[in-house]
């Protein structure tokens, strides 16, 4: 790390967490605020380097959506250790962004073994320029959709992503050498994220969650909730209502939400007025202080309560007890051991029963 000068990878204007406010970001310009800019460059700070995919955006920095950054130094250090990077391994980084982490990877494996894919052409160009200027001319940067991997450089000993996925792309499995590893942040629509480390063998990638780290989602896997669209007056009038029988506090428990997120893919969670909502592509639930209103093909809150009860009976396992298996047959979460798959709900139990009949 001391050999990679992080400031060389940062643009003059960046954004950092706004510690003067409750959430949000503040803009930092090297020309007008040099002390804060340099402190951010060499602090353990994720420095945002692009917002709103580089498109025109609102000027109020508080409300921006970050879309690229120079990763948090402690996070990439933990990732390098978790991926067991070592000299001579061939590494593909997904989400090259500023090139900062690719420079760190180059220092470990050798720059001619480091390949980065970045979807945003402007970012890829500036990463290339920064890497060249910092002496990493032999590291490769390509512009492309990292979900496809990068075939010309394959096979890789490691694929390391610094952009999160909700579905691990099969090309990553196919482009990793048998015995190699994929390390990627994994997100669910419900909330929590974790870094999963998958060992590739026999056309499958299998492994546990190893670190509680969060990254921005890859372009191509961002999913917006449909709650506002589905929550109409007609739907409200037609919703099924019952008295709240279970404490909805588990909707604020990160461990519970991580487990539920694995089992309820595509289900989002939010807050509206004094209540909480959940939504899928065709259903929603609204939970106030006394009632549950549910609409659509699924009873989403009831599903969540049943899964939460089961999770508690299993001893309320935390993220590090879960893992994933990825292969041509899809992506399956498991608990403790790869043979202990946990159920994944993508439709109502009734719809599943009808299909079976």
Ligand X SMILES: C[S@@+](CC[C@H](N)C(=O)[O-])C[C@H]1O[C@@H](n2cnc3c(N)ncnc32)[C@H](O)[C@@H]1O
Residues at the site binding ligand X, with contacts judged by CB under 6 A: 67-71, 94-95, 97-98, 100-101, 117-120, 123, 145-147, 162-163, 215-216, 218-220
Cα–Cα distance, 334 to 259 (Å, whole number): 10
Residue 60: partners with Cβ closer than 8 Å, 6 or more residues away: none
Q: Which is closer to ligand X, CB of 54 or CB of 318?
A: 54
DSSP 300: H
The structure tokens 């510690």 sit at: 19
Contact 184, 195 (CB under 8 A): yes
Q: Which is closer to ligand X, CB of 146 or CB of 208?
A: 146
Residue 326: partners with Cβ closer than 8 Å, 6 or more residues away: 168, 170, 173, 198, 204, 205, 206, 332
Please give the full DSSP string across 196-265, using - where no structure is assigned. Answer: EEEEEETTEEEEEEEE----PBPTT------HHHH--HHHHHH-EEEE--S-GGGGG-HHHHHHHHHHST
Supply the minimum distance, in Å, between the C-beta of residue 351 and ligand X.
Answer: 32
Among the listed residues 68, 69, 71, 280, the single catalytic one is: 71
Supply the minimum distance, in Å, between the C-beta of residue 102 and ligand X.
Answer: 7
Beta 156-161 vs 176-187: how paired, if at all?
parallel
Q: Which is closer to ligand X, CB of 78 or CB of 314?
A: 78
Supply the minimum distance, in Å, between the C-beta of residue 284 and ligand X.
Answer: 28
Cα–Cα distance, 289 to 168 (Å, whole number): 38
Please give the full DSSP string across 84-145, using - where no structure is assigned. Answer: T--TT--EEEE--TTSHHHHHHHHHH-GGGEEEEES-HHHHHHHHHHHHHTT-TTSEEEES-
Contact 190, 267 (CB under 8 A): yes
Supply the minimum distance, in Å, between the C-beta of residue 169 and ligand X.
Answer: 9
Supply the minimum distance, in Å, between the C-beta of residue 178 and ligand X.
Answer: 24
Supply the minimum distance, in Å, between the C-beta of residue 74 and ligand X.
Answer: 12
Q: Which is closer to ligand X, CB of 221 or CB of 346?
A: 221
71 is catalytic: yes
Cα-based distances in Å from 74 to 41, 130, 254:
13, 21, 22
- Of 310, 294, 273, 293, give the one whose Cα is nearest residue 350: 294
Q: Which is closer to ligand X, CB of 97 or CB of 182?
A: 97
Q: Which is closer to ligand X, CB of 30 or CB of 219?
A: 219
Q: Which is closer to ligand X, CB of 117 or CB of 278?
A: 117
Supply the minimum distance, in Å, between the C-beta of residue 95 and ligand X.
Answer: 3
- Of 244, 300, 254, 293, give the one whose Cα is nearest residue 272: 293
Catalytic center residues:
71
């Amino acid at each position: 790390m001391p050999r990679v000068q992080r400031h060389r990878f940062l643009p003059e204007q960046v954004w950092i967490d706004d510690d003067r406010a409750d959430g949000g970001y503040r803009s930092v310009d090297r020309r007008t605020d040099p002390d804060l800019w340099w402190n951010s460059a060499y602090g353990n700070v994720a420095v945002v380097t692009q917002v709103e995919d580089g498109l025109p955006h609102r000027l109020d920095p508080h409300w921006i959506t970050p879309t690229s950054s120079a990763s948090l130094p402690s996070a990439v250090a933990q990732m390098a250790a978790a991926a067991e990077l070592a000299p001579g391994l061939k590494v593909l980084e997904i989400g090259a962004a500023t090139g900062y982490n690719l420079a760190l990877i180059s220092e470990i494996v050798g720059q001619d073994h480091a390949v980065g894919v970045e979807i945003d052409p402007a970012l890829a160009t500036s990463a290339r320029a920064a890497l060249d200027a910092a002496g990493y001319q032999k590291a490769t940067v390509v512009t492309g959709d990292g979900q496809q991997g990068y075939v010309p450089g394959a096979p890789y000993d490691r694929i390391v992503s610094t952009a999160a996925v909700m579905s691990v792309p099969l090309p990553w499995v196919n482009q990793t050498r048998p015995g190699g590893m994929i390390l990627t942040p994994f997100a669910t629509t419900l909330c929590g994220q974790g870094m999963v480390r998958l060992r590739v063998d026999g056309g499958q990638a299998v492994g546990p969650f190893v670190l509680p780290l969060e990254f921005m989602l890859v372009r191509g896997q961002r999913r917006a909730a449909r709650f506002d669209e589905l929550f109409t007056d007609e739907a409200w009038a037609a919703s099924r209502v019952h008295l709240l029988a279970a404490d909805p506090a588990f909707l604020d428990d990160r461990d519970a939400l991580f487990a539920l997120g694995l089992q309820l893919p595509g289900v989002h969670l939010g807050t509206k007025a004094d209540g909480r909502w959940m939504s899928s592509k065709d259903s929603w639930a609204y939970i106030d202080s006394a009632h549950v209103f549910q609409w659509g093909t699924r009873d989403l809150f009831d599903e969540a309560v049943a899964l939460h009860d089961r999770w508690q009976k299993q001893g309320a396992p935390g993220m590090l007890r879960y893992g994933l298996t990825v292969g041509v047959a899809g992506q399956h979460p498991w608990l403790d051991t790869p043979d202990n798959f946990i159920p994944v709900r993508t439709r109502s139990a009734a719809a599943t029963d009808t299909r079976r009949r």
